[in-house]
């Protein structure tokens, strides 16, 4: 900085060693060795000369700057004791410490949905049918809101983790949330969650859809039996999945089991009393659910019909192919 002031350069400009030598000592300093390999051992004679010259000109610059009263006078060269004495007499520079921010409070561990009840059902049915809600994190918070367990768990400060595996959230009271990508744009997709209006039997006029078990999910899982018997609340959240982006989930209301579809030769599981009818299917075992709040969803003014059922696809007028004509006993 002293050399910068002596040369008269702007305050924000820093004069290098070579520039200071030219301006104050009227001597040029060869810096060609600066970019050589200084990690190599041993150093070459040219590198040693370069390093020594840098140190030498610093002493010359110190004298010139002291003469110009831009530096305090320095002790005579070679007098090590005078240098030590001067260093002892000079007070150490004051240390300034910037204020440290207060430590952040420790974050609370996530809480499993299995530790909470599905307490937000009433609010969901009255205010959110057909609405786009966002991702699963938002869905979980809405479903768990309003209970004493939720307040005790301090959900405002911690995350809720979804128990149950892909496409499913299981709650502590046995309730469940289902998440599906409705109306895949590819007809040959592995999971094509089509909706249709049933045309016969006791379910005539009802909106149904097929739901296949995901990885590590089985018909014999503990949560399935009370769900098939209608003993717990089940909610459906849908979103269309496109190649460009994933849209937010929409709340489609409650669902109830309408049928269990089993391929030939596959029987139900132990404890299947109270099940809905069993249909034959030429595909994998799955559950056919009834959309309880279908009318409210279709009448929604939030664009839910197109978003959930797909433009031009809509709700099929009859049961899809692949099911037997007669129900199995």
- Per DSSP, the three-state class of 277 is coil
% of the chain at pLDDT higher than 70: 71
- HSE-up of 16 (CA within 13 Å, CB side)? 8
Question: Which one of 13-22, 96-105, 251-260 scores highest in mean pLDDT?
Answer: 251-260
Q: Which of 259, 262, 275 lies closest to 226 in space, CA to CA?
A: 275
In this predicted structure, what is the pLDDT of residue 49?
82
In DSSP terms, 134 is beta-bridged to 249
Both tokens of residue 306?
């197109």
CA distance 140 to 64: 74
Q: Which of 316, 324, 244, 240 lies closest to 280 in space, CA to CA?
A: 324
Mean pLDDT of 259-266: 88
pLDDT at 243 over 80: no
pLDDT at 227 over 70: yes
Q: Which of 280, 320, 286 lies closest to 212 in space, CA to CA?
A: 286
Position with higher pLDDT, 172 vs 65: 172
Instruction: State the DSSP code for 184.
Output: -
For the chain, the average pLDDT equals 77
- The model's pLDDT over 4-24, given as tens digits with 9 standing for 90+, comes to 555 455 555 566 777 777 766
Radius of gyration, alpha carbons of the chain: 39
Both tokens of residue 321?
């192919």
**Using CA of residue 239, residue 288, residue 178, residue 221, what is the dihedral sign?**
negative
In this predicted structure, what is the pLDDT of residue 83?
47
% of the chain at pLDDT higher than 90: 20
- Per DSSP, the three-state class of 228 is helix
Provide the pLDDT confidence category of residue 185 given band limits of 50, 70 and 90: very low
Question: Which one of 74-83, 183-192, 291-300 scores highest in mean pLDDT?
Answer: 291-300
Provide the pLDDT confidence category of residue 298 given band limits of 50, 70 and 90: confident
In this predicted structure, what is the pLDDT of residue 86?
47
Position with higher pLDDT, 69 vs 49: 49
The answer to whether the CB of 181 falls within 8 A of the CB of 189 is: no
- The model's pLDDT over 190-218, given as tens digits with 9 standing for 90+, comes to 555 778 899 888 899 999 999 988 878 88
Give one word for 19, left, alpha or beta, with left for phi > 0 and alpha for psi -120 to 50: alpha
- HSE-up of 204 (CA within 13 Å, CB side)? 4
Range with the lowest mean pLDDT among 30-39, 84-93, 105-114, 278-287?
84-93
Both tokens of residue 283?
């595909």
CA distance 179 to 175: 14
Range with the lowest mean pLDDT among 79-88, 123-132, 222-231, 277-286?
79-88
């Amino acid at each position: 900085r002293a050399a910068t002031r002596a040369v008269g350069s702007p305050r924000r400009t820093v004069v290098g060693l070579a520039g200071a030598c030219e301006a104050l000592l009227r001597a040029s300093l060869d810096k060609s060795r600066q970019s050589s390999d200084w990690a190599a051992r041993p150093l070459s004679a040219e590198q040693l000369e370069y390093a020594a010259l840098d140190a030498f000109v610093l002493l010359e610059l110190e004298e010139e700057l002291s003469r110009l009263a831009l530096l305090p006078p320095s002790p005579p060269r070679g007098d090590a004791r005078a240098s030590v004495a001067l260093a002892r007499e000079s007070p150490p520079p004051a240390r300034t410490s910037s204020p440290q921010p207060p430590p952040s409070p420790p974050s609370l561990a996530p809480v499993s949905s299995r530790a909470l009840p599905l307490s937000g059902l009433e609010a969901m049915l009255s205010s959110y049918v057909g609405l786009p809600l966002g991702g699963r994190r938002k869905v979980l918070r809405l479903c768990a809101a309003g209970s004493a367990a939720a307040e005790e768990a301090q959900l405002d400060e911690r995350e809720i983790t979804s128990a149950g595996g892909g496409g499913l959230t299981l709650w502590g009271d046995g309730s469940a949330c289902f998440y599906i990508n409705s109306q895949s744009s590819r007809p040959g997709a592995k999971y094509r969650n089509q909706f249709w209006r049933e045309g016969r039997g006791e379910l005539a006029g009802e909106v149904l859809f097929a739901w296949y078990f995901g990885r590590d999910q089985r018909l014999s899982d503990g949560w399935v039996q009370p769900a098939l018997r209608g003993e717990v609340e089940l909610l459906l959240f849908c979103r269309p999945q496109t190649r460009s982006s994933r849209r937010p989930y929409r709340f489609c209301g409650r669902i109830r089991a309408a049928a269990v579809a089993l391929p030939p030769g596959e029987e139900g599981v132990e404890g299947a009393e109270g099940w809905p009818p069993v249909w034959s299917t030429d595909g994998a075992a799955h559950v056919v659910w009834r959309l309880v709040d279908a009318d409210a969803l279709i009448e929604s003014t939030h664009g839910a019909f197109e978003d959930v059922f797909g433009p031009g696809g809509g709700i099929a007028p009859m049961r899809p192919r692949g099911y037997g004509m007669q129900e199995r006993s």
